[in-house]
Chain A
Amino acid sequence: MPTASRDELLQGTLDMLVLKALQLGPMHGWGISERLEHGSKRVLQVGQGSLYPALYRLERQGFIASEWGASDNNRRARYYQLTPAGRARLVKERQAWNRMSRAVELILAMGAAD
């Protein structure tokens, strides 16, 4: 997508990050937001509410599946986990992300040489 808008880019990124967070194992929504925050050394502040539309979208697309379970403090929580399709998707997104960031790096480097 040559003219990806900023929102779409962000959205796509969030989806990828959620998939990545779930690669570590099944987790509920709160736990996923914690993983993202810890993982980014608190650099990345995921808008907590935006996590849920992303989860529902990914589930609809069949990349993640969910079921009720008990949390650490024994409360009812919805646990998400990767499906095989989600695993494959993560690999693909990661490749795309690598390509994209390399390309961005190249452009930025070109600016520095000027």
Chain B
Amino acid sequence: MRSRQRLRDFIAVLLGFRRKNDMDSRLRQEIAFHIDMATEQKMHRGMAPDEARRTALVEFGGREQWRESARDEVRSRPLEELLHDARYALRSLRRAPAFTAAAIATLALSIGATTSIFSVVNAVLLRRLPYPNADRIVALCEKNLTKLEQPVCGVGSLNPGNFLAWHDRVSSLEASAAFVEQRVAITANGADPIAAQSRFTTAEIFKVLGARPSLGRFFTVDEDRPGGPNVLVLSHALWQQHFGGDPGIVGRQLRMNENEYTVIGVTAADFGLYDPVDVWIPIRFTAAQRSAPGRFLRAVGLLKPGASLEEADRELKRVALERQRELPAFNTNMTALARPLRQQLVGNSERALWTLLAAVGFLLLIACANVANLLLARAADRGREVAVRISLGASPTRIMRQLLTESVLLSVIAAAIGLVIAVKGTEALVALVPSGISTVQSLADVSVEWRVLAFTGLVAIGTGLLFGVAPARQAVKGDVQETLKEGGRGGSGASRSSARLRSALVVAEMSLALVLLTSAGLMVRSFAALEQVDLGFRPEGVLTARLTLPFRKYTNDTAVVRLFQAAESRVAAMPGVKAVGLISYLPLTGMRAVQGFNVEGRPTLDMSAAPGGDMRAVTPNYFAAMGIPLREGRGFTEMDRMGTPDVAVVSQSLARAFWPDSSAVGHYLLYEWDRPERVRIVGVAADVHDDGPDKEAYMEIYRPLTQFPYNSMALVVRGGGDPTRYAQPVRAAIREVDRDLPLATVEPMTSLVSRAMGTTRLSTVLFGLFGILGLVLAAIGIYGVMTYTVQQRRQEIGIRVALGASPRDVLRLVVWRGAMLSLAGIAIGLVGALIASGLMRNLLFGVPPHDAPTFLAIAVALACVGVLAAYVPGLKATRVDPVAVLRGE
């Protein structure tokens, strides 16, 4: 408590607040004394007491007025002095260009890095989401109580009937909407078909998100019913790209999946939620859909003003219980929940971002320690200047303020440069932004955002004070007479305590660097472990593209299958192509269709409790094209057709889960997809890490396209060399098959892989970068301190040499001291690193947070760097000429 009070006093004096109150009471006392004395004098000369007092008051004049003008003399002080100090600081910084450049460069880099990371943290975690009622928007989802994993409200997993029950019965929600996406083909007046992402949604979505159309209008609740009109709303982007921003678009007819739709509006430019969407269409639930099983929707809601998330969550759970009673077969064990939209959008990148910010903050601290060291060295040189000024009547507080002004000025200049670095740096950090956030707000205006500016300003002033206070106190602490006599060369008590301070700073730097480096080391090892993970397929040399068939044109499954087969064989005939296959959902796209299933011959579980299999339709050549090895049995062949026995290939994880000791081949799976199905397992394929290398492989059930038709398939082309060179020929080949067939998202499989690793790769690189910078700064710190020590102890070293110490002894003396500082820093740093790595636990993959080899390697490396940084000044020490020293030069 007391130290807090002292700190407050210190700050108050620094800023000139305290002085004012003191001044006031002092002035009152002085004037009272003056008038008393004058009264006394007049009484002495024979005046009556009353008259004497009155005369004295009159002679003094308006007391209030004089008090006021005396106060004015004080009041103008802080700002005036600040400007004066700033000018003085600029002059003295200009006089020491090497020091100034070194300090500013160190600070600008670390403030720039800190600001860049903060910009991302701000955009992802702090900035208001771009919806008018952002704080009231919640994500709604269903959760299976028997499954441990967190629900993913952002993935379709909600039943229409259940959603409608929530919509009607939860009173704390002002509005709510559910939606599902589908790939569609849009044609306008015989132009080339456009492959578009559509979102079928209930009408309240626009109310929940507080959207305004930029053109026309949105659809109403009335239009969102069975038999309602065929209307759609275009996204601003699609309207710009494919309709040239035509202002007459409203009212035009477009063909979508062979149906005519009327455009009724265009969204605002920055409107969106989750993934990018091209067209918004009323979902128009039919009576059958309202009561059908199946969970495929996503939902968001708007809390009533004043209603809390907890209230909504409680109500949802109550309604979920009602739904369990109403539909026990479908809803047993199912509950519901509401969570903040931001949490939904940000997912698990929150911890990674805060960790990065902490890491860069450590770097900034190391930089501060380094600059403080530079300032201390300078303070020693300036000892005489300060002593002269103190002896000329400048108060120590005044001088401290002046020195602090200098350090804050230094950091403010550095921050200005850092801000420029940050603007550039932030562009490189886009990959850190989770896709949920990047579709709703852009990073583009991050650099000019007030919060970032305020942050940088605070960091600048904070660091300026942080690295300035100790050296400034040191500067005014010394004995004036002593310093003047010595000629400011040091060796006094002040410079001895300054040496202690510098050593402490170096120890701090070393320990911070160790924490930073071990964290970086763990991240690098995690990343290496991720790279080592066998994804289950070979992405190199593979080109992918999505083919979506217009519904109407290919009305029956046979036509759909025939077209896909034609496209596949057409592409397979291209020169250089080794294998071509099709699959309903590519790995690493986050898309899947999960279906509960039972195993024949085992107890039948209700669908809500049954294990979920990831259903994928493939063509026989898919496994070869993607490079997924078959472990057992056979793959699909041309003989597996509609009408022949239903077959499936399952992944190893599924096979292991049910038949750990025997073969899965020959067993039957039971599930209900449109109709009850019974499929025979004919083969087992290697596991594929569908959600990225750090996620468990899902249980896959592959089915032949012929028996399990889909109208939208991904094309997988394996060729030799760079896969992108097949992009044009594949496009041409598909057009030959059907010129109305849009080909979308053509990209090499490797870019899907690197996108899945992108965030991790970038944060690993950043961690590594911060770690190396921290190491370099710490090494410079040790080097500086040891050089200074050698200089300070020249006399002692000279005497030792004169008394017969060998160069080796001298070298050992210096290096030993450097090693001691490093070891002290490493010991303290190890404790910090253990704590830090524990906090990073969730970010690590395949490496324990307290990984001994990493810790050991980093500690040894840091110790070596410390010794090396002391070695150079040590060599310098061996060249000290004892004769020159003893002569006093």
Chain A contact residues, CB within 8 Å of chain B: 28-30, 33, 47-50, 52-53, 55-57, 60, 62-63, 65, 71, 73, 75-78, 83-86
Q: Does A47 lie within 8 Å of B33, measured CB to CB?
A: no
Please tell me if B65 contacts chain A, counting CB pairs below 8 Å: yes
13 contacts between A and B (CB under 8 A): A29-B33, A29-B34, A48-B34, A49-B65, A53-B72, A53-B73, A56-B23, A57-B73, A62-B392, A65-B393, A78-B26, A83-B393, A84-B391
**Whole-angstrom distance from the CB of A45 to the nearest CB of chain B?**
9
Q: How far is the CA of A65 from the CA of B30 in the complex (A)?
A: 15
Q: Does B33 lie within 8 Å of A28, measured CB to CB?
A: yes
- The DSSP consensus for interface residues of chain B is helix
* A48-B61, A75-B33, A76-B33 known; A60-B74 Cβ under 8 A: yes
Which A residues are CB-close (under 8 A) to B395? Answer: 62
Q: Does A47 lie within 8 Å of B34, measured CB to CB?
A: no
Please tell me if B259 contacts chain A, counting CB pairs below 8 Å: no
Please tell me if B394 contacts chain A, counting CB pairs below 8 Å: yes
Q: Does A49 lie within 8 Å of B33, measured CB to CB?
A: no
Which listed residue (A29, A57, A62) contacts B393, Cβ 8 A?
Answer: A62
Q: Does A53 lie within 8 Å of B69, measured CB to CB?
A: yes
Which A residues are CB-close (under 8 A) to B26? Answer: 78
Report the interface size class on chain B. Answer: 20 to 34
In addition to A48-B34, A52-B67, 13 A-B residue pairs with Cβ atoms within 8 Å of each other are A28-B33, A29-B30, A29-B34, A30-B38, A49-B62, A49-B65, A53-B69, A53-B72, A62-B395, A76-B29, A78-B29, A83-B393, A85-B393
Q: Does B69 lie within 8 Å of A48, measured CB to CB?
A: no
Q: Does A52 lie within 8 Å of B31, measured CB to CB?
A: yes
Please tell me if B63 contacts chain A, counting CB pairs below 8 Å: yes
Q: Does A49 lie within 8 Å of B61, measured CB to CB?
A: yes
Which A residues are CB-close (under 8 A) to B23? Answer: 56
Q: Does A84 lie within 8 Å of B393, measured CB to CB?
A: yes
**Whole-angstrom distance from the CB of B294 to the nearest CB of chain A?**
82
Q: How far is the CA of A31 from the CA of B36 in the complex (A)?
A: 12
- The DSSP consensus for interface residues of chain A is helix
Q: Does B59 lie within 8 Å of A48, measured CB to CB?
A: yes
* A56-B74, A60-B77 known; A49-B63 Cβ under 8 A: yes
Which A residues are CB-close (under 8 A) to B33? Answer: 28-30, 71, 75-78
Which listed residue (A47, A56, A77) contacts B61, Cβ 8 A?
Answer: A47
Which B residues are CB-close (under 8 A) to A65? Answer: 393
Using CB atoms, name the residue of chain A closest to B27.
A52
Which A residues are CB-close (under 8 A) to B34? Answer: 29-30, 33, 48
Please tell me if B458 contacts chain A, counting CB pairs below 8 Å: no
| Nearest 4 Cβ contacts at the A-B interface | A83-B393, A49-B66, A49-B61, A56-B73
**Whole-angstrom distance from the CB of A77 to the nearest CB of chain B?**
5
**Whole-angstrom distance from the CB of A63 to the nearest CB of chain B?**
8
Q: How far is the CA of A50 from the CA of B23 in the complex (A)?
A: 16
Q: Does A83 lie within 8 Å of B72, measured CB to CB?
A: no
Q: How far is the CA of A77 from the CA of B62 in the complex (A)?
A: 21
Please tell me if B37 contacts chain A, counting CB pairs below 8 Å: yes
Using CB atoms, name the residue of chain B closest to A48.
B60
Using CB atoms, name the residue of chain A closest to B23.
A56
Using CB atoms, name the residue of chain A closest to B59.
A48
Which A residues are CB-close (under 8 A) to B62? Answer: 49
Which listed residue (A56, A62, A73, A86) contacts B394, Cβ 8 A?
Answer: A62
Q: How far is the CA of A5 from the CA of B113 in the complex (A)?
A: 55
Q: Does B27 lie within 8 Å of A48, measured CB to CB?
A: no
Query: In chain B between 45 and 84, which residues have their CB closer than 8 angstroms to a CB of chain A?
Result: 59-63, 65-67, 69-70, 72-74, 77
0/1 interface trace, chain B 494-529, chain A, CB 8 Å (1 if under): 000000000000000000000000000000000000
Which A residues are CB-close (under 8 A) to B59? Answer: 48
Which A residues are CB-close (under 8 A) to B30? Answer: 28-29, 52, 77-78
Which A residues are CB-close (under 8 A) to B398? Answer: 62
**Whole-angstrom distance from the CB of B217 to the nearest CB of chain A?**
69
**Whole-angstrom distance from the CB of B521 to the nearest CB of chain A?**
55
Which A residues are CB-close (under 8 A) to B394? Answer: 62
Q: Does A84 lie within 8 Å of B392, measured CB to CB?
A: yes
* A49-B60, A52-B70, A53-B69 known; A85-B392 Cβ under 8 A: yes
Which A residues are CB-close (under 8 A) to B77? Answer: 60
**Whole-angstrom distance from the CB of A105 to the nearest CB of chain B?**
32
Q: Does A30 lie within 8 Å of B37, measured CB to CB?
A: yes
Q: Does A56 lie within 8 Å of B70, measured CB to CB?
A: yes
Using CB atoms, name the residue of chain A closest to B26.
A78
Using CB atoms, name the residue of chain A closest to B63.
A49
Which B residues are CB-close (under 8 A) to A33? Answer: 34
* A29-B30, A57-B73 known; A52-B393 Cβ under 8 A: no
Q: How far is the CA of A47 from the CA of B61 in the complex (A)?
A: 8
Q: How far is the CA of A52 from the CA of B66 in the complex (A)?
A: 7
Q: How far is the CA of A33 from the CA of B23 in the complex (A)?
A: 20
Using CB atoms, name the residue of chain A closest to B67.
A52
0/1 interface trace, chain B 591-622, chain A, CB 8 Å (1 if under): 00000000000000000000000000000000
Using CB atoms, name the residue of chain B closest to A45.
B59
Which A residues are CB-close (under 8 A) to B60? Answer: 48-49
**Whole-angstrom distance from the CB of A75 to the nearest CB of chain B?**
6
Q: How far is the CA of A76 from the CA of B36 in the complex (A)?
A: 12
Which A residues are CB-close (under 8 A) to B391? Answer: 84
Using CB atoms, name the residue of chain B closest to A83.
B393
* A30-B33, A53-B69, A71-B33 known; A48-B393 Cβ under 8 A: no
Q: How far is the CA of A92 from the CA of B393 in the complex (A)?
A: 17
Using CB atoms, name the residue of chain A closest to B391.
A84
